[in-house]
Structure 1
Amino acid sequence: MRKMTEAAATLRPDLAVTCAAPELLAQAEELAVRLGLPLAEAGARHQLLLRCAPEGLELVKPDDPQLRGPLRVDFTAGAMDFRRKQPGKELLLRAVGCKIGRPLTVIDATGGLGRDSFLLAAAGCFVHVFEKEPVLAALLADGLERARQCPDTEAIAVRIRLTAGDALPFLREMRAQGQVVDAVYLDPMFPERRKSALVKKEAQLLQLLAQPSNPAAEKELLAAARAVSRRVAVKRPAKAPFLGEAAPSHSLSGATVRFDVHIAISGCF
């Protein structure tokens, strides 16, 4: 997620922390303090609620009948579980240069809900994922913790290190120390800010947290990533322009997205 400007801050949704059961109140109180968010009071109305529930941490939009179902990070079941078991169909793995039996060290600088990081780890990669939006980082941390407690996903989840913060200072420090990783992965896109029945519930919730695109910041992030990796893979909408106006070495295209790949000359930029 991108750094908020003062103008963007006014666009942030009205968000509070709550719990689904009395025994989770202490957890909700700790989370509210950690994120600097208010606790939801009885009878108060909020645009978004970050709710501690027995199933895990979840984001809900209570004032919209079509969006009342929770958004929760879950790597142990459903579509995510299906995808991790079929790595050969993932363009992402080709984009970062992942091959069976050759684990890579990858930095995911724009983690979001962590699905791509989890697919990379499922293929054997060691992933350091960054997410600077505190709410998304909290959801991702909760999902990873539950994945570590599940026998089917424990070995994958332990290969993922999460940092709740901006990747850019970390990449700059890596460059200053002459450090290089196998690949950096960037997925800075968020859904368009539009109302449509065709936009999924998850996308509508995410776009409430998303900040406006900042081309200068995106260009800076790409340059920093290229400076410390042998390969940078950038996920883009299929018809979107190149990130930072930088032409890639090549692209891998799917039906709705493509991966622009920047490969270092002689192993390092």
Structure 2
Amino acid sequence: MRKITELAAVFPPDLAVACAAPELRPQTEALAARLGLPVAAENERRQLLLRCTAEGLELVKPDDPQLRGPLRVDFVAGAFAFRCQQQGKELLLRAAGCKGGFRPAVLDATGGLGRDSFLLAAAGCAVHIFERNPVVAALLADGLERARLHPAAAAIASRISLSCGCSVAALRAAALQGERIELVYLDPMFPERSKTALVKKEAQLLQLLSPPPSLEEEKALLDAARAASHRVAVKRPAKSPHLAGQAPSHALHGKTVRFDVYLAEQEPQPLPQE
């Protein structure tokens, strides 16, 4: 993490920070103070816990049998690491306009757990992530820090910076200053209908922290992104309506998701292949 600007937020009423081992108590207390959250006493019952462990920061809902197990950001293990090695199959890179040697500078305005930003960085893009929820931003920052310590992921993670704050305000400021971002990427939360247990758990936990945006919020986000950029790529469930009801310039379709692409009149051109 390069920098996180703190953001005041309304947290779920029963969220606390906990530590899994006594030696983690100092960093637990520091995190709680930074987020303005209480530190849970040992064996204290809470609806949600943001827990410091030796393996990394994790979010858990202890008393829900349907959501057992931690939510942790991990860029170096399992299926996701394999995806980073199979970039040619990713619709995301086509939606981003990655052609030849051209790799756009990206502003990810809805960071979430950061997986798509990490894929873009793995392809060579410099990515600045905005995440408005401080707890999600803390999980993402922890995952990026651990990735920077891993030999296979350090170079990729070094291309990512993170801010906790309102991307709409940042996009509007860029537009007022005449800046044109090469790509704004949007993956706003959508009510999850997948029956995959892992995806369901992640979606439900994230929605406890931050509900999906309203139509008015969707419109403000997309309008700000289009005003500040050459290209906007929006990730949506395959059969969902367009974001804010605005039809894209074109769309790329996968089995479960699609990418709606909104183009400005002039885009940066790909570099010629050598």
- Structure 1: gaps (5+ residues): 1-5
Q: Structure 1: which amino acid aligns with 2:79?
A: A
Deviation per residue, 1:142-166 (Å, 9 max, x gap): 0000001111001000100100111
Contact 2:190 2:212 in 1 (8 A): no
Q: 1:151 to 1:212 in 2, by over 3 A?
A: closer
CA distance in 1 between partners of 2:142 and 2:198 (Å): 28
Q: Which residue of structure 2 aligns with residue 21 of structure 1?
A: 21
Residue 214 (1) aligns with residue 214 (2): yes
Contact 1:105-1:181 at 8 Å conserved across structures:
yes
> Which letter maps to 1:171?
L
Describe how 1:215-254 pairs up with structure 2 within 5 A.
Answer: 215-254=215-254
Question: 2 CA distance for matches of 1:240 and 1:142?
Answer: 32
Inter-partner Cα distance in structure 2 for 1:136 and 1:193 = 21
Deviation at 1:220, TM superposition (A): 1.1
- What does the per-residue CA deviation read over 1:118-140, in whole Å, with 9 as the maximum and x for residues that have no partner? 00000000001000011100000
Any conservation in 2 of the 1:13–1:209 contact (CA below 8 Å)?
no
Counterpart AA for 1:188: P
Distance in 2 separating the partners of 1:47 and 1:100: 49
Give the length in aligned residue pairs.
Answer: 260
- 1:71 aligns with 71
Match of 1:185 in 2: 185
Q: Counterparts of 1:88 and 1:120 in 2: how far apart (Å)? A: 12
- What amino acid is the match of 1:133? N
Determine the C-alpha separation between the residues in 1 that align with 2:248 and 2:25. Answer: 49
Aligned sequence identity (%): 67
TM-score of the two chains, using structure 2 as the length reference = 0.89
With 105-114 and 256-265 compared, the bigger mean Cα shift is at 256-265
Name the residue aligned to 1:157. 157
**Counterpart check, 1:137 vs 2:122:** no
Q: Which residues of structure 2 form unaligned runs of 5+?
A: 1-8, 269-274
CA distance in 1, matches of 2:106, 2:33: 32
* RMSD value, Cα: 2.1
Does structure 1 retain, via aligned residues, the 8 Å contact 2:147–2:157?
A: yes
1:175 aligned partner, one-letter code? A
Q: TM-score, normalised by structure 1?
A: 0.91
Q: 2:46 aligned with 1:39, yes or no?
A: no
In 2, Cα distance between the equivalents of 1:50 and 1:119?
26
Contact 2:189–2:212 at 8 Å: present in 1 too?
no
Q: How far, CA to CA, are the matches of 1:161 and 1:176 in structure 2?
A: 22
The range that moved more, 211-220 or 51-60, is 211-220
Q: Aligned partners of 1:159 and 1:185: how far apart in 2? A: 16
Q: Distance in 2 between matches of 1:101 and 1:121?
A: 14
Partner secondary structure for residue 46 of structure 2: coil
**Counterparts of 1:17 and 1:62 in 2: how far apart (Å)?**
13
Deviation at 1:203, TM superposition (A): 2.3
CA distance in 1, matches of 2:193, 2:15: 18
Partner of 2:4: none
2:5 aligned residue? none
Match of 1:3 in 2: none
Within 5 Å, give how 1:83-98 maps onto structure 2: 83-98=83-98
Mapped to 1, the partners of 2:139 and 2:81 lie a distance apart of: 18
CA distance in 1 between counterparts of 2:147 and 2:198 reads: 30
Q: Is the 8 A contact 2:189 2:211 kept in 1?
A: no
Residue 100 of structure 1 and its aligned partner are, at CA, apart by 4.7
Q: 1:241 to 1:193 in 2, by over 3 A?
A: closer
